[in-house]
């Protein structure tokens, strides 16, 4: 059993709530009326217990610190089913992405693979390195062997500007 | 006709068969693919880290497309297609954002254009080329073969912006399969996600989603699953064995890129279509097709 | 001349008042319960009423209902005496199969032109025996029964038609559509009432006031494909279910699964379909919650304790007199209430439906295996409101319904003098509210009609 003192522990219009709002293209994306339709069809619910409508409610009530520290916001599969079906045109997907951005800004728990992807882009422009690909007959192949054109890696300028964009547009 | 093409990351670094088969089949319909001057990520994964930076990346892709002077950009990956389409929409709706992004592109003398039409393989083949033209080019009819289609979540949602197909009952990929003479079955799990996005944080859960969908498909006595996204193909084909281990059920489903199946029906050599790279048990099917009396 | 002198001169020159005689008659558009109530109130007060109804019979939506909430009275038992009273009232000129063509004039003196479409059956001769129906070779979808049944090209509009005269569907009739020279109904009619040469007729009349009661529409759930309506046979709409529950309906009042024909064990209601949904209609349909309760209670009565009944709801809106008690009655009868709206409905080959709903009070995802799913399709504006808006110059609100002059103080007057609104065309509501509005609109109209003349220009 838990008791939450709303006046002391959560500030519905606090700084973090404003931050989340600022990251959303439309405030409508938060205007959920808690029908739970999103959760009923959420791909990540059964395996990872992601409850999209609860996330939005927590954001609206200001319990954002916990969300940012929690791993739950990294369970969204980006299937966009919630965005598609919400009768209030809210979007747990977009809200969750905004929370992820804040988690990165605050250097909270961020799955390594995402940060690796960013550093890979800074290195080669692509989010993953060239993988070792083998045929069924265990023969290793690469683009050259398959007569595919060479990858045209982007300029250093792009990487510099991308870094700038990461720091804030 | 000329089409600019944006491959994304996965196709260039591991999912070679999609590029191979696409480069083989499209010229048969009079399409000349024009690569962009540079290859980089569309920003799909970066959205979780910094949405503005990902918008900048997608806008840069569209600016590179604009450089080719071509108005049509082919995007074979469902996820890239979503990111580019959403970026177009966001920039159109927010002038301030567009200014900021344009300023960044300006530094490299790149120009963003809002009137690039972003195509996916499925809607390009279905809407522009047309199933009749495809039927004409079929040399080996796949009559008697049963497939199921998987178009990819991000290709069909959210429907408040124009997507490749409808969100609840997408049919274009099925019509394309039927154009080859085969049957494309309806199934309850058709809209279920492959789980690729979870590979970055919860790989077991991602593979579990893949395995569940494959398991459901196995009940349907199919000759194979046909997909049109490198993320989906990576899960269903490349990682089918891993998915089998995770869900603890025997999985054995041949998985093809649509462009590979189309190539087979047009009697293009299997090696040119990258079929040697498919990890799922496709040999039986591709041999059966090759032995069909054309 | 200075300004004051000029103004005085003009005031003396221009007519300060123009007057029109106020006609002691009313046009009532729409013959559902609202139009019927308005007509009776005005006719009983001594005014002449022209009741124009588009369909071949009056009765509207209420005639389609099995029972009404919260009293569970049989709907037709309440409605039929009023329908008969309308048909027999000396002050009411009932024009069915008729539409409004043109409206001109001002309050107190509206000039109305209406067009009565041909039924190809003489209303004065037809005895209502129905012999023509049985011999007709063409089957058409039965609109009154929401397509759950077929009727013939010549038929009564419903089992409760007033007037009790058949109508021929000219597009489906072999003879009228020019396909064949069929005359089976002509031969079967002993009253000689069939007349293939019947033409449409225009009527012109003057009225003092107009009351619009054209009703509203029901959302078509095939626009929401995730719920399977149109794809899965066992997913039906609330209005279709109402016809199923009616003892004179297409299944004789038996509740059966459309796919197998068997009696369902588990029935799931899904609320708020099409309404409270920004993708379609943002408004709340007002009646959905109560209709669900009514239908759930009826299912319990017809199928007994074995049936498992679930209502998936977003909110439970039971705001009227006796409504909260009705909610309690449903709970006491073992109707299960699930707080949550399902994302989608899936089907297995044998027609069993899978409904996943996240129940907010249990914090669990519940998967239901339903034999029958009933969708609470919302009450929505009619497409014709655009045309009506133009005809009568009555604006529409942002929600698409016809706009009242003031939502609190003038709920049944339109912004146009002399034109009143009543019933669901002004906004979704139940029968109690519609009847209240009907009598209110009639009273307001009587205020206007009670004058001998009316000034139409004032300085």
Q: Which of B13, B60, B94 sits opposite A130 (nearest CB)?
A: B13
Predicted local confidence at residue C458, as pLDDT: 47
The reported pLDDT for the residue numbered C171 is 95
Looking at beta carbons, which residues of chain C come within 8 Å of A36?
Answer: 339-341, 357-360
Residue among B101, B203, B190 nearest B147 (CA): B190
DSSP-assigned letters across all residues of C331-394: HHTT-EEEES--S-EEE-TTS-EEEEEEETTTTEEEEEEESEEEEEEPEE--TTHHHHHHHHT-
In angstroms, rounded to a whole number, what is the distance separating the alpha carbons of residues C173 and C185? Answer: 11
Q: Taking CB atoms and an 8 Å cut-off, how many pairs form between chains A and B?
A: 185
Ranges of beta strands (E only) in chain B are 2-5, 32-35, 72-74, 117-119, 146-150, 183-185, 224-227, 255-257
pLDDT score recorded for residue A2: 63
Min Cα distance B220 → chain C (Å) is 12
Contact call for C356 and A87, based on CB within 8 A: no
Q: Residues A48, A54, A59, CA angle at the centre, nearest 5°? A: 115
Sheet holding C345-347, edge to edge: C345-347, C353-359, C364-370
C402 touches C396 (CB < 8 A): yes
Contact C274, C223 (CB under 8 A): yes
Q: Where on the phi/psi map is residue A141: left (φ > 0), alpha (ψ -120 to 50), or beta?
A: beta
pLDDT at residue C62 in the model: 97
- H-run or E-run covering A46: helix A45-48
C226, B188: Cβ pair inside 8 Å? no
Distance from CA of B55 to the nearest CA of C (A): 26
pLDDT value of residue C18: 74
Element (H, E) at B22: helix B16-25
Query: Any idea of the CA torsion for A100, A105, A111, A113, to the nearest 10 degrees?
Result: 110
Scanning every residue of chain C, which has its alpha carbon at the shortest distance from the alpha carbon of B166? Answer: C225
Helix axes C431-449, C33-44, angle to 10 degrees: 40
Which residues on chain C are in Cβ contact (under 8 Å) with B169? 225, 231
User: In this complex, is the C-beta atom of A85 within 8 Å of any C-beta atom belonging to chain C?
Assistant: yes
Strand B117-119, strand B183-185: pairing:
unpaired
Is some CB atom of chain A closer than 8 A to the CB atom of B169? no
Which residues are bridge partners to C104 per DSSP? C111
Supply the angle between the helices B258-265 and B16-25 in degrees, to the nearest 10: 40
* Residue B191 Cα, gap to closest chain C Cα (Å): 11
- 54-73 in A: which are within 8 Å (CB) of B? 71
**A34 has a chain C CB within 8 A of its CB:** yes
Angle subtended at Cα A134 by Cα A131 and Cα A138, rounded to the nearest 5 degrees: 150
Q: What share of chain C is helix, strand, coil (3-state, %, to 5)?
A: 25, 25, 45
Judge residue C383's burial from the number of C-beta atoms within 10 Å of its C-beta, 0-12 exposed, 13-18 middle, 19 or more buried: exposed
Q: How far is B160 from chain C (nearest CA, A)?
A: 9
Q: C455, C16 in Cβ contact below 8 A?
A: no
Q: Which chain A residues contact residue B278 at CB under 8 A?
A: 136
- Yes or no: say if C56 and C123 are a contact pair by the CB < 8 Å rule: no
User: Cβ of B169 under 8 Å from any chain C Cβ?
Assistant: yes
pLDDT at A38 over 80: yes
What distance lies between CA B269 and its chain's CA centroid? Answer: 21
Q: Do C348 and C243 form a contact (C-beta atoms < 8 A)?
A: no
Residues 6+ apart with CB under 8 A from C161: C56, C57, C59, C128
A126 to chain B, closest Cα gap in Å = 5
Residue ranges in chain C modelled with pLDDT below 50: 458-459
ipTM for the whole complex = 0.94
Tell me if B154 and A80 make a contact (CB, 8 A cut-off): yes
Q: Which residue has the tokens 């099995």?
A: C66
pLDDT at C8: 77
Q: Where are the alpha helices (DSSP H) in C111-230?
A: 131-135, 184-188
Average pLDDT per block of 10 residues along chain B, 294 residues long: 97 97 98 97 97 96 97 97 97 95 96 96 98 96 96 96 96 98 96 96 97 96 97 97 94 96 95 95 89 66
Q: Please list every residue in chain A whose beta carbon sits closer than 8 Å to the beta carbon of residue C340.
A: 35-37, 39-40
CB of C276 within 8 Å of a chain A CB? The answer is yes
Sheet of B32-35: strands edge to edge? B32-35, B2-5, B72-74, B117-119
Which residue from C minimizes the CA distance to B170? C225
CA dihedral C160, C164, C165, C168 (to 10 degrees): 0
Q: Cα–Cα distance between B53 and B57 in angstroms, integer?
A: 6
Shortest CA gap C344–chain A (Å):
7
Among C28, C447, C412, C441, CA closest to C404:
C412
CA-wise closest residue to B285 among B250, B247, B251, B254: B254
Q: For an interface test with C, which of B168, B189, B190, B192 has the most C Cβ atoms less than 10 Å from its Cβ?
A: B168
Quote the minimal CA–CA distance from A5 to chain B in Å: 31
With CB atoms and an 8 Å threshold, state whether B168 touches C347.
no
Count of pairs with CB atoms under 8 A, one residue in B, one in C: 9
Minimal Cβ distance to C358: which of A39, A81, A88: A39
Per-residue tokens: B24: 């083989």
User: What strands lie across the sheet with B146-150, from one edge to the other?
Assistant: B183-185, B146-150, B224-227, B255-257
Interface test with A, best of C225, C311, C365 (most A CBs within 10 A): C365
* B168 contact residues in C (CB cutoff 8 A): 225-226
C342 in contact with A, Cβ within 8 Å: yes
C277 in contact with A, Cβ within 8 Å: yes
CB contact under 8 A, A33 and C314: yes
- Do the chains contact at C356 and A35, CB–CB below 8 Å? no
The tokens describing A38, both together, are 């999103």
Closest approach of A54 to chain C, Cα-based (Å): 10
Nearest CA in chain C to A41: C343
CA nearest to B19 within chain A: A148
Contacts of B100 in chain A (CB under 8 A): 169
CB atoms A89 and C276 under 8 Å? no
Residue B37 DSSP symbol: S
Q: Does B186 touch chain C (CB under 8 A)?
A: no
Q: Cα–Cα distances in Å, from A140 out to A72, A75, B14, C1, C24?
A: 38, 34, 12, 106, 95
Q: Calculate the CA A83 to chain-centre distance.
A: 14
Cβ–Cβ < 8 Å for C166, C133: yes
More confident position, A109 or C7: A109
CB C282 within 8 A of CB C399: yes
Scanning the structure block, which residue is given the tokens 């029972």? C67
Tokens (6 digits) for C407: 């939502």
């Amino acid at each position: 059993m838990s008791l939450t003192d709303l006046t002391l522990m959560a500030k519905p219009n606090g700084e973090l709530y404003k931050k989340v709002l600022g990251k959303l293209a439309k405030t409508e994306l938060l205007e959920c009326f808690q029908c739970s339709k999103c959760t009923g069809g959420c791909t990540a619910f059964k395996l990872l217990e992601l409850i999209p409508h609860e996330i939005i409610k927590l954001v609206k009530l200001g319990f954002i610190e916990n969300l940012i520290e929690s791993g739950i916001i990294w369970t969204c599969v980006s299937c966009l089913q919630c965005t598609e079906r919400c009768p209030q045109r809210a979007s747990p997907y977009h809200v969750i992405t905004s929370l992820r951005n804040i988690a990165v800004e605050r250097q909270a728990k961020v799955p390594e693979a995402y940060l690796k992807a960013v550093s890979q882009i800074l290195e080669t422009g692509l989010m993953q390195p060239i993988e070792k690909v083998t045929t069924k007959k265990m023969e290793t192949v690469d683009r050259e062997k398959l007569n595919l054109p060479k990858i045209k890696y982007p300029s250093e300028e792009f990487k510099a500007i991308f870094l700038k964009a990461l720091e804030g547009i | 006709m000329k089409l600019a093409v944006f491959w994304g990351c996965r196709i260039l670094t591991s999912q070679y068969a999609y590029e191979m088969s696409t480069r083989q089949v499209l010229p048969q319909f009079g399409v000349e693919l024009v690569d962009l001057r540079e290859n980089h990520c569309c920003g799909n994964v970066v959205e979780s880290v910094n949405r503005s930076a990902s918008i900048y990346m997608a806008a840069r892709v569209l600016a590179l497309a604009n450089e080719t002077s071509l108005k049509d950009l082919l995007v074979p990956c469902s996820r890239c297609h979503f990111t580019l389409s959403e970026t177009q929409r966001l920039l159109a709706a927010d002038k301030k954002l567009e200014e900021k992004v344009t300023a960044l592109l300006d530094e490299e003398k790149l120009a963003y254009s809002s009137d690039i039409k972003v195509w996916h393989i499925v809607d390009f083949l279905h809407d522009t080329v047309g199933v009749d033209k495809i039927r004409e080019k079929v040399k080996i009819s796949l009559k008697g073969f049963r497939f199921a289609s998987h178009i990819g979540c991000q290709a069909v949602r959210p429907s408040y912006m124009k997507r490749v197909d409808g969100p609840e009952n997408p049919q274009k990929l099925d019509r394309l399969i039927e154009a080859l003479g085969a049957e494309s079955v309806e199934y309850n799990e058709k809209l279920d996600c492959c789980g690729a996005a979870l590979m970055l944080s919860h790989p077991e859960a991602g593979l579990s989603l893949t395995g569940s969908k494959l398991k459901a498909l196995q009940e349907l006595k199919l000759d194979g699953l046909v997909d049109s996204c490198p993320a989906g193909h990576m899960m269903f084909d490349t990682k089918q064995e891993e998915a089998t281990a995770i869900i603890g059920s025997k999985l054995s489903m041949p998985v093809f890129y649509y462009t590979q199946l189309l190539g087979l029906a047009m009697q293009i050599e299997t090696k040119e279509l990258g079929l040697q790279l498919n990890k799922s048990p496709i040999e039986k099917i591709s041999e059966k097709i090759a032995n069909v009396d054309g | 001349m200075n300004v004051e002198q000029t103004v005085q001169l003009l005031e003396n020159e221009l007519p300060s008042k123009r007057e029109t005689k106020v006609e002691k008659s009313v046009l009532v558009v729409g013959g559902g319960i609202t139009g019927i109530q308005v007509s009776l109130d005005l006719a009983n007060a001594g005014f002449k009423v022209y009741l124009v109804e588009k369909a071949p019979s009056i009765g509207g939506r209420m005639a389609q209902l099995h029972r009404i909430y919260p009293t569970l009275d049989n709907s037709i038992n309440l409605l039929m005496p009023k329908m008969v009273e309308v048909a027999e009232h000396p002050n009411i000129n009932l024009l069915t199969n008729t539409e409004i063509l043109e409206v001109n004039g001002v309050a107190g003196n509206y000039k109305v032109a209406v067009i009565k479409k041909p039924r190809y059956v003489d209303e004065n001769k037809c005895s209502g025996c129905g012999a023509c129906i049985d011999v007709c070779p063409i089957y058409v979808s039965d609109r009154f029964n929401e397509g759950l049944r077929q009727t013939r090209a010549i038929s009564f509009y419903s089992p409760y038609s007033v007037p009790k005269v058949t109508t021929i569907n000219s597009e489906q009739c072999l003879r009228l559509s020019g396909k064949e020279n069929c005359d089976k109904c002509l031969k079967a009619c002993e009253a000689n009432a069939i007349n293939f040469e019947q033409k449409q007729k225009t009527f012109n009349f003057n009225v003092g006031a107009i009351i619009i009661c054209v009703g509203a529409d029901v959302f078509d759930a095939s626009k929401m494909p995730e719920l399977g309506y149109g794809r899965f046979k066992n997913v039906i709409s609330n209005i279709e279910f109402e016809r199923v529950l009616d003892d004179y309906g297409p299944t004789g009042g038996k509740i059966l699964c459309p796919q197998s024909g068997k009696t369902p064990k588990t029935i799931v209601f899904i609320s708020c379909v099409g309404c409270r949904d920004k993708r379609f209609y943002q408004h709340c349909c007002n009646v959905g919650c109560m209709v669900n309760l009514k239908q759930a209670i009826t299912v319990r009565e017809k199928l007994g304790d074995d049936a498992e009944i679930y209502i998936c709801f977003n909110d439970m809106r039971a705001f009227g007199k006796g409504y909260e008690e009705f909610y309690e009655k449903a709970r006491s009868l073992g109707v299960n209430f699930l707080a949550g709206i399902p994302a989608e409905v899936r089907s297995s080959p044998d027609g069993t439906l899978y409904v996943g709903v996240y129940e907010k009070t249990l914090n669990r995802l519940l998967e239901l295996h339903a034999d029958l799913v009933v969708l609470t399709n919302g009450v929505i504006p009619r497409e014709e409101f655009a045309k009506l808006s133009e005809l009568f110059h009555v604006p529409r609100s942002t929600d698409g319904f016809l706009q009242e002059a003031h939502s609190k103080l003038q709920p049944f007057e339109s912004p146009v003098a002399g034109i009143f609104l009543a019933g669901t065309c002004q906004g979704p509501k139940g029968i109690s509210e519609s009847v209240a509005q009907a009598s209110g609109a009639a009273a307001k109209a009587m205020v206007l009609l009670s004058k001998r003349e009316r000034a139409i220009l004032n300085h």
